[in-house]
């Protein structure tokens, strides 16, 4: 994700390791609760323990792992509490921002016309991803849709925070996609939301978005039961 570390384009082995491990965690390639070890990862990546340790510290700050002293690092279990908290933060920021974008939108400006093309493009790609049943791609594109709209207000900090929140929401989302099929509903909602934005209708945008962000809530009990070993509180 191009968001992080745009300070000086410094790409140490530690940062690369961080990004690699983080991707594997939030895409469930490494399972919640799984133990990982500095030695193991460093052998796997062909570097020494030092960069891996740096990566672990960053993951710890993201709350994506827990470090058990002298025992190893455990990939964080999915916490319903944490998911709810991240969802709340996301909703606050995203609703406020989308409303602003809705009130700003002006198709006469080139900037917005470009954006419109890009967003329509994302939506099209999403439909294709659904057709191909490529859920990894689908989730990534879903993120891009939201990010594109957020980016209108030119607030990098919002994107960074949302990125942090998304890390925790993503794993839940993957599980839910494995179970229930509302990708098409999600895409339709994207279209409606984008229409409300283009129509300069902040209130409608707010209502649609709040609904959209909660679409997955009702599936959760099933998920939690089925994958209870991935969850902290179960």
| Binding region for its own copies (CB under 8 A) | 7-8, 10, 14, 53-54, 57-58, 60-61, 63, 66-69, 82, 84-86, 88-89, 92-93, 96-97, 153, 155-158, 161, 164-165
Q: How far is the CB of 78 from DNA (least distance, A)?
A: 21
- By CB under 7 A, residue 32 contacts DNA: no
Return the one option of its own copies, DNA, none that residue 89 interacts with (CB less than 5 to 8 A, by type). Answer: its own copies
CA gap 186, 197 in Å, rounded: 16
- What does DSSP assign to residue 229? G
Backbone angles phi, psi at 185, to 5 degrees: -60, -45
Question: In angstroms, what CA-CA distances link 29 with 24, 32, 136, 174, 178?
Answer: 5, 9, 11, 11, 14
Return the one option of DNA, its own copies, none that residue 3 interacts with (CB less than 5 to 8 A, by type). Answer: none
CA gap 216, 154 in Å, rounded: 29
Return the number of other C-beta atoms located less than 10 Å from residue 129's C-beta.
20
Q: How far is the CB of 215 from its own copies (least distance, A)?
A: 20
How do the residues of the chain divide into helix, strand and coil, expressed in percent and rounded to 5? 70, 5, 25
Return the one option of DNA, its own copies, none that residue 104 interacts with (CB less than 5 to 8 A, by type). Answer: none
Q: How far is the CB of 47 from DNA (least distance, A)?
A: 4
Binding to DNA in span 54-83, by CB under 7 A: 67-73
Q: How far is the CB of 68 from its own copies (least distance, A)?
A: 6
198: helix, strand or coil: helix
């Amino acid at each position: 994700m191009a968001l992080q570390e745009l300070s000086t384009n410094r790409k140490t082995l530690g940062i690369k390791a961080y990004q690699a491990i983080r991707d594997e965690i939030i895409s469930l390639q490494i399972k919640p609760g799984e133990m990982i070890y500095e030695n193991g990862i460093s052998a796997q990546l062909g570097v020494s323990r030092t960069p891996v340790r740096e990566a672990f510290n960053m993951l710890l700050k993201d709350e994506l792992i827990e470090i058990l002293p002298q025992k190893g690092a455990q990939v964080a279990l999915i916490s319903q509490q944490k998911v709810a908290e991240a969802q709340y933060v996301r909703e606050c920021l995203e609703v406020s921002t989308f409303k602003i974008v809705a009130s700003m939108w002006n198709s006469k400006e080139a900037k917005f016309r470009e954006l419109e093309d890009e967003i329509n493009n994302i939506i099209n790609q999403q439909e294709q991803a659904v057709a191909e049943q490529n859920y990894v791609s689908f989730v990534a594109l879903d993120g891009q849709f939201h990010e594109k709209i957020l980016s209108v207000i030119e607030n990098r900090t919002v994107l960074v925070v949302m990125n942090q929140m998304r890390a925790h929401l993503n794993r839940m989302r993957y599980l839910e996609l494995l179970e229930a099929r509302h990708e098409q509903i999600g895409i339709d909602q994207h279209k409606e939301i984008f229409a409300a934005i283009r129509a300069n209708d902040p209130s409608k945008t707010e209502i649609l978005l709040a609904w959209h962000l909660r679409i997955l809530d009702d599936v959760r009990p099933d998920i939690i039961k089925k994958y209870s070993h991935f969850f902290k509180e179960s």
